[in-house]
Amino acid sequence: MRTVEHFIGGNAAGGGSRQHDIWDPNTGEVQAKVSLGTADELQKAVDAANAAQPAWAATNPQRRARIMFAFKALVESHMDELAELLSSEHGKVIADAKGDVQRGLEVIEFCCGIPHVLKGEYTQGAGPGIDVYSMRQPLGICAGITPFNFPAMIPMWMFGVAIACGNAFILKPSERDPSVPVRLAELMQEAGLPDGILQVVHGDKQMVDAILDHEDIMAVSFVGSSDIAHYVYQRGTENGKRVQAMGGAKNHGIVMPDADLDQVVNDLAGAAFGSAGERCMALPVVVPVGDETADRLREKMIPAIDALRVGVSTDGEAHYGPVVTAEHKQRVENWIQTGVDEGAELVVDGRGFKLQGHENGFFIGPSLFDHVKPGMESYRQEIFGPVLQMVRAKSFEEALELPSKHQYGNGVAIFTRNGHAAREFAHRVNVGMVGINVPIPVPVAYHTFGGWKRSAFGDTNQHGMEGVKFWTKVKTVTQRWPDGSPDGGNAFVIPTMG
């Protein structure tokens, strides 16, 4: 059976006596194993990074950018391979898998312009003969801890910017689908990246703790559940590290009475059920304003759900595939039962779905709830599966209040033709990313990604200029070149505004 090993110092590396199963979500069978490392494997990666990083930081930004260009071309040429590998371990359909790779690649494209964004600031004549300038310098060794649901995009969000800025990077991907992160590291090496600058170590909590505790790792980026994000942020910052930790979500879609419901239904079908709902930017809660809007939306939503095709990840006509593991399937189905027990109306029940010929696969049919109430635990918590919940609001103000008061604040959308309502909503809603007639408002790569409240811990977002700030530190230089004046006319004086 295939074993996925660590990638340390430019080579595959064994280590660690424990292994974790990698499932084929389509069949329910184990297809490979991944080695789970310890602090010993991490130390080997840190040693390799320490040996390589100073020279990489001294490499001029234009040469670093050329490696990003080469990596981009390699990823594009290997797109089919990467998508198929990703799909085989995660379960998302090939089209979604290609989207996963492409959205990460867009951050790499941003990194190709790193010489420009690393330019500092300069003030001539801040005082008598005094100039002041600033520069951004790399932190040293950085690390990323990434989730199973985007095994290509999120690693590239992190390591692309960090490496372009001159850091070495150690990636700890999810043990559920680790093959694509390793393949990306191999392609980066093929693009010309020196050994030791991008490395991959596998593991569970033991490896996470080793990363958070290692004194040579200066910054950690994390994406996962909110409870673990809080833990990572707390432990990492206690150890003096810079930490950004992105957590869970419960994104809402507000539907105003004037919205184009045909477009809304089409958007919801993709945003709520695409990738089996395993997205932190999925849209699992729809909030129609007024019972008339809710009734019309429900009437249109049911046939749209019935038309969804659930299939194996290689089925080109499938709208979505299986969830990642049997445990996750059970967790989603338990939340559906919780919603029923709490009194929500289960309009469409996706439990018990079986795909002919793949009866042991981790498939869940789409589910729709109506009359969900804000006090229900199934509404408060992230389900992370193909489940859409309808919460009816009587007014715009009530609809605005729901996402604003929810414990998560990752993304939100409003569907309307009313420009005033959209502008008012975007200004007032207490959520980090807002879509106006856009169901999944993930910003483009040269802007930044980040939520509020329990969706994010730390004060710096992912990628874009926020990413550059996170992976660098600012140095400010105040300089004066004495002209040798015998009367001391150019003596140093602290610059003031007076």
CA angle 59-49-473, nearest 5°?
A: 60
| Residue that is written with structure tokens 């408002």 in the block | 441
Angle, nearest 10°, between helix axes 79-90 and 179-190? Answer: 160
Could you give the CA distance from residue 336 to residue 387 in angstroms, rounded to a whole number? 8
H-helix or E-strand spanning residue 237: helix 226-238
Looking at this protein, which amino acid is placed at residue 27? T
C-alpha 44/C-alpha 9 separation (Å) is: 8
The residues, ordered by sequence, that sit 6+ positions from 362 with a Cβ below 8 Å of its Cβ are 23, 25, 28, 91, 322, 323, 324, 325, 326, 328, 329
Residue 283 and residue 266: Cα distance in Å, rounded? Answer: 12
Catalytic residue among 111, 112, 165, 280: 280
280 labelled catalytic:
yes
Instruction: Report the SS3 class of residue 345.
Output: strand
- Which among 182, 105, 70, 212 has a CA at the least distance from the CA of 444? 105
Residue found by looking up tokens 């409003």 in the block: 414
Locus of tokens 């990642």: 324
Distance CA 284, CA 141 (A): 37
CA distance 162 to 460: 14
DSSP per-residue codes, 100-160: HHHHHHHHHHHHTTHHHHT---EEEEEETTEEEEEEEEE-SEEEEE--SS-TTHHHHHHHH
Q: Exposure string (b/e) for 135-153, b if CB count within 10 Å is 16 or more?
A: ebebbbbbbbbbbbbbbbb
Catalytic residues: 280
